[in-house]
Structure 1
Amino acid sequence: MIQGRPMALIMLFGLSLLNLSSEWPSNLTRPAFVTTLDETLPDSFKTARQLLFDQYQRHYPRIPTAQPVTIVEIDEETLATVGQWPWPRNRLAGLIDAIAAQKPLAIGLDIYMPEPDQTSPDKVADNLPTSAARLAAELRTLPSHDAILAQSLRAAPTILGAAALDHAAFTTRTDLRSAPILVHGTDPLHNVPRYEFVLASLPQLQDAAHGQAMLSVALEQGVVRHIPLIMGLGEKVVPSLPMEMLRLATDSSAVEVFANSSGVQAVGVADVLVPTQPGGDIWLHFASIRSTLGRYVSARDVLQGKVDPERIRNKLVLVGLTGAGVTDMRTTPLGELVPGIEIQAQVIESIFEGRFLRRPTWLKWAESALIMAFGLLIVWYVPRKNSRFAAFIRAVPKGTAFAGLLLHLANLLCCYYIFIRFGLLVDAAAIFIILSAVMGCFFSSALLHAQEQAKAEAAQAAEREDESSRKDSRGNAPLP
């Protein structure tokens, strides 16, 4: 087994570097060769890590203990009753008025309205023939649907959503009228997701609403795992919808960001402080959609006055589309396909409960130190001929595989317990892969050595048999 030591050391240090490059700590300058390595092998450890963390959640999903959010869904029943989407904005104003009448703490709209409403009376008048000049003049005296909606937005505690984009389009803008961000410490702009363009509602509507916020979520292989609480838009920091909803509900003047050279440490509003990853995002511990269906009410029932006022009073209300063909569906780590508005609700719910998943920078270093310590121990101890391990291998050759499986099972169970008990995401996959590869170097070396030894012994046996045959033939030869 001693011949396997050089290869085991190469495997240990090489895979450890590859693992570190796939999740380089933000408080360290990223060397050029690390960037090259990560770009060459982008999914080396990241995919295994993500799938493992998904399995943590699937076996232990969050069970909601509070329901601060109500989702008013524009569902199939609403569209069948009220009309297809998009609605005239005076109709949307009626929905907001009906919600506001029940005294919610805040109303967040997962709806973009970047262009004027073409069903407004003045727009209709512009399309009438000259023979209908009198009718056109009367229509122009009526308020536009955008003006009606703006009045409803101003009268209620409303927040408009916006989507961050990397590219310009006909309806995109480069600024957003958002509440101020109060930064404590270093500027977080170079750490958070940063965009140059935004798809937002008309300036008239932005002026009327009491807040603007980003709705964008991070997708990794089509799955939403972590959600940014703040983002960069040009040279300014803007809040996500959950943080802006909390700001408005607590009547706070600003969202606070705490950052240092390692990145964003926390984002807070009033007395609520949310610990974040260095990029200003959080790993969301998802609850199954089956446990959150009680937060949904149909917009049709709200318009018809059939909803219990307690479902809305003093709640954070999100308004979004769930009807088939008009909603954005997202996949969660639980393998469920949910409306995008559900993810925003789960973020708010997690903040209320104070239950977050965390993967701090020090945890990556702790994992790397553990891998190196055990790896070097394996390299030093396993090849020793007089060790108990060597004696065990000689006595029970197949027992090593069983012992290895037990150790890896203990590793997985320990990491899973830490997830349940402390909400920490420990990468058991990297520990398993690297240490298995190191052990494999010795077993492959021992196997090759055993094969060579078996061939040599077979050759010696064949030679002895041949020599014996020659002796027998000489002994049996007739005398002259």
Structure 2
Amino acid sequence: MKRYYDLWLARIKSLLKATQGRPVALAVLFALSLLNLASEWPSNLARPAFVTTLEQTLPDSFKSARQLLFDQYQRHYPRMPGAQPVTIVEIDEETLASVGQWPWPRNRLAGLIDAIAAHKPLAIGLDIYMPEPDQTSPDMVAGNLPETATALAAALRALPSHDTILARSLHAAPTILGAAALDHAAFATSIDLRSAPILLHGADPLPRVPRYDYVLASLPQLQAAAHGQAMLSVALEQGVVRHIPLIMGLRDTLVPSLPMEMLRVATGSAALDVSTNGSGVQTVGVADVQVPTQPGGDIWLHFASIRSTLGRYVSAREVLDGKVDEDRIRDKLVLVGLTGAGVTDMRTTPLGELVPGIEIQAQVIETIVEGRFLLRPTWLKWTESGFIMGVGLLLIWYVPRRQSRLVGMIGAVPKAVTVLGLCLHLLNLLCCFYIFIRFGLLVDAAAIFIILSAVMGCFLSPALLHLQEQTRLEAALTQAPSADQDGAGKAPGT
């Protein structure tokens, strides 16, 4: 076994020494660049079969490093909220302890909406699904009464159902109902949603946006009463929410997300505008607001720390008791959702914080209103790839030249080259971080670091091997005279 190991090691050494390591460096540069491109293939290009195979063979090769880097950008420079256009009316543990466990009878939820609407919000978005009739409605209770209670049953059936009461409240206020996007059929799912129209400017974006076959929506009676319908979906990558779709596909129909639909209702617009080109979705707009998106119709969200947004939360109990400050709701975009333990969905942000799902919807609205977007356009990926190839080819041409100063430095002080490389990579990281802060662009410094480090490694290895052999030779030459002297100093016959 050792013999084969020594043989392979000798071959690798000879390969690295061949033409000063240029062939190996070229192979490494092109292979890693292709792998990096495959991990984030530009949407305006048809994906070749070998790229798909490469991505499946080596999944998350560069994607994980890229995501962790972008998370670090945000952790070191989180968004600081300016204005606070959103108020979250939370059905928290205090409210549940006072009013009753969830789910509430729909007439009680109607009372909460009426109480919010009394303070004149711009829009009310409900992160609540109601796909089944309320079983506590008078007519439902009447159906469970014994036959001897005929008069009581008739009196109960004469009363409006709780769904009817809620529908009236939804119609009287600028409300938007959320619906859950699903890939599979389940109990109470449907295949359509009464959403507002979306006006297209360009090619059909359906092939590029997230598409779902089913939706868990509220009852048709409630959908008809509300002023808007929206799909709720977040893209999870390794359990972290990094970007949010602004539009999605429900089978062959485009539907809006909750933040965009709330802005549409708040501005009194009849439809959303979606602009596309060959790369995919470019902007999603409503009224005079145009949101630049990724080709898939989503945005990278620049998160604010939950510690800086706690002021937007109002307990539903305070609203029901009439103790809320009117300025907390008037002319605000109000989100209603569950935050009580055991009844809410918690999500992890790039900041490492666990927040209620409704907080993410609030941050999307806040980001759009402030106009502070994170962008990773298609051209940026090409720019990164061009930079990596250009610098990589320059290194391959310059470093192995015997008269180059870098080769002399490697031979003289190997550790200095390591320090120089670290300094250059630190400069690369700082430049990318500055671009993030200044322009909101997500530059992949991780791929630049990994690929160019691998290219430099192809030259450092043969240089270090040569240095090691030279050191051994000098040691052997140093030991040889001392051996001769020892032999000459001995007396004959000893």
TM range (shorter): over 0.9
Question: What's the offset of the Cα at 1:388?
Answer: 1.3
One-letter amino acid matched to 2:348: T
1:119 to 136, 149, 160: 136
Tell me, in whole angstroms, the C-alpha distance in 1 between the residues paired with 2:297 and 2:185. 24
1:182 lines up with 2:207 in the alignment: no
Question: What's the offset of the Cα at 1:134?
Answer: 2.3
- Relative to the length of structure 1, the TM-score reads 0.96
1:401 lines up with 2:418 in the alignment: yes
In the other structure, the counterpart of 2:77 is: 60
Secondary structure of 2:337's partner? Answer: strand
1:352 lines up with 2:369 in the alignment: yes
Q: Label 1:129 to 1:440 Cα distance change in 2 as closer, same or farther (>3 A).
A: same
Pairs within 5 Å for 1:414-429: 414-429=431-446
In the other structure, the counterpart of 1:266 is: 283
Question: What's the offset of the Cα at 1:141?
Answer: 1.2
Tell me, in whole angstroms, the C-alpha distance in 2 between the residues paired with 1:459 and 1:337. 63
Q: Deviations over 1:67-112 (max 9, x none)?
A: 1111100011110110000000000000001111111111000000
In the other structure, the counterpart of 1:314 is: 331
Tell me, in whole angstroms, the C-alpha distance in 2 between the residues paired with 1:476 and 1:204. 117
Secondary structure of 1:25's partner? Answer: coil
Question: What's the offset of the Cα at 1:447?
Answer: 2.2
**Structure 2 alignment gaps of length 5 or more:** 1-16
In the other structure, the counterpart of 2:11 is: none
In the other structure, the counterpart of 2:492 is: 476
One-letter amino acid matched to 2:428: N
Tell me, in whole angstroms, the C-alpha distance in 2 between the residues paired with 1:217 and 1:287. 17
Q: Label 1:463 to 1:395 Cα distance change in 2 as closer, same or farther (>3 A).
A: closer
Tell me, in whole angstroms, the C-alpha distance in 1 between the residues paired with 2:117 and 2:405. 74
1:252 to 233, 251, 269: 269
Pairs within 5 Å for 1:22-171: 22-171=39-188
Contact 2:374 2:442 in 1 (8 A): yes
Tell me, in whole angstroms, the C-alpha distance in 2 between the residues paired with 1:258 and 1:3. 51
Pairs within 5 Å for 1:272-291: 272-291=289-308
Question: What's the offset of the Cα at 1:474?
Answer: 11
Pairs within 5 Å for 1:454-473: 454-455=471-472, 468=484, 472=488
Which region of structure 1 is more displaced relative to structure 2, 38-47 or 413-422?
38-47
Tell me, in whole angstroms, the C-alpha distance in 1 between the residues paired with 2:229 and 2:462. 62
1:337 lines up with 2:354 in the alignment: yes
Pairs within 5 Å for 1:189-204: 189-204=206-221
Tell me, in whole angstroms, the C-alpha distance in 1 between the residues paired with 2:139 and 2:446. 62
Contact 2:25 2:458 in 1 (8 A): yes
Q: Number of paired residues?
A: 477
Secondary structure of 2:176's partner? Answer: strand
Tell me, in whole angstroms, the C-alpha distance in 1 between the residues paired with 2:343 and 2:430. 42
Q: Label 1:290 to 1:474 Cα distance change in 2 as closer, same or farther (>3 A).
A: closer
Which region of structure 1 is more displaced relative to structure 2, 135-144 or 343-352?
135-144
Identity %: 78
Q: Deviations over 1:200-231 (max 9, x none)?
A: 11111101101000111111111110000000
Contact 2:129 2:216 in 1 (8 A): yes
The two structures, once aligned, show a CA RMSD in angstroms of 1.7
Contact 2:410 2:463 in 1 (8 A): no
Tell me, in whole angstroms, the C-alpha distance in 1 between the residues paired with 2:143 and 2:31. 69
1:243 lines up with 2:260 in the alignment: yes
Question: What's the offset of the Cα at 1:455?
Answer: 4.5
Q: Deviations over 1:227-269 (max 9, x none)?
A: 0000000001000000000000111000110001110000000
One-letter amino acid matched to 2:342: G
Tell me, in whole angstroms, the C-alpha distance in 2 between the residues paired with 1:125 and 1:451. 92
1:362 to 375, 379, 403: 379
In the other structure, the counterpart of 1:375 is: 392
Tell me, in whole angstroms, the C-alpha distance in 2 between the residues paired with 1:201 and 1:116. 9
Question: What's the offset of the Cα at 1:139?
Answer: 1.2
Tell me, in whole angstroms, the C-alpha distance in 1 between the residues paired with 2:474 and 2:435. 51
Tell me, in whole angstroms, the C-alpha distance in 1 between the residues paired with 2:439 and 2:33. 25
Question: What's the offset of the Cα at 1:377?
Answer: 1.0
Question: What's the offset of the Cα at 1:429?
Answer: 0.5
Tell me, in whole angstroms, the C-alpha distance in 1 between the residues paired with 2:303 and 2:351. 7
Secondary structure of 2:115's partner? Answer: helix
1:226 lines up with 2:243 in the alignment: yes
Secondary structure of 1:403's partner? Answer: helix
Contact 2:168 2:225 in 1 (8 A): yes
Tell me, in whole angstroms, the C-alpha distance in 2 between the residues paired with 1:469 and 1:133. 124
Question: What's the offset of the Cα at 1:462?
Answer: 6.6
Secondary structure of 2:274's partner? Answer: strand
Tell me, in whole angstroms, the C-alpha distance in 2 between the residues paired with 1:57 and 1:412. 14
Question: What's the offset of the Cα at 1:131?
Answer: 2.4
Tell me, in whole angstroms, the C-alpha distance in 1 between the residues paired with 2:397 and 2:183. 51
Q: Deviations over 1:425-446 (max 9, x none)?
A: 0000000011111111111222
Question: What's the offset of the Cα at 1:389?
Answer: 1.3
One-letter amino acid matched to 1:142: L
One-letter amino acid matched to 1:280: G
Which region of structure 1 is more displaced relative to structure 2, 407-416 or 135-144?
135-144
**Structure 1 alignment gaps of length 5 or more:** none
Question: What's the offset of the Cα at 1:137?
Answer: 1.8
In the other structure, the counterpart of 1:10 is: 27
Tell me, in whole angstroms, the C-alpha distance in 2 between the residues paired with 1:185 and 1:173. 29
Secondary structure of 1:285's partner? Answer: coil
Tell me, in whole angstroms, the C-alpha distance in 2 between the residues paired with 1:136 and 1:264. 56
One-letter amino acid matched to 1:100: A
Q: Deviations over 1:260-314 (max 9, x none)?
A: 1110000000100000000000001111111111111110000111011111111
Contact 2:411 2:467 in 1 (8 A): no
Tell me, in whole angstroms, the C-alpha distance in 2 between the residues paired with 1:236 and 1:95. 32
Tell me, in whole angstroms, the C-alpha distance in 1 between the residues paired with 2:485 and 2:417. 42
Secondary structure of 2:181's partner? Answer: strand
Tell me, in whole angstroms, the C-alpha distance in 2 between the residues paired with 1:348 and 1:51. 25
Question: What's the offset of the Cα at 1:347?
Answer: 0.6
- Relative to the length of structure 2, the TM-score reads 0.93
Secondary structure of 1:324's partner? Answer: coil
Tell me, in whole angstroms, the C-alpha distance in 1 between the residues paired with 2:67 and 2:490. 73
One-letter amino acid matched to 2:492: N
Question: What's the offset of the Cα at 1:411?
Answer: 0.3
Secondary structure of 1:188's partner? Answer: coil
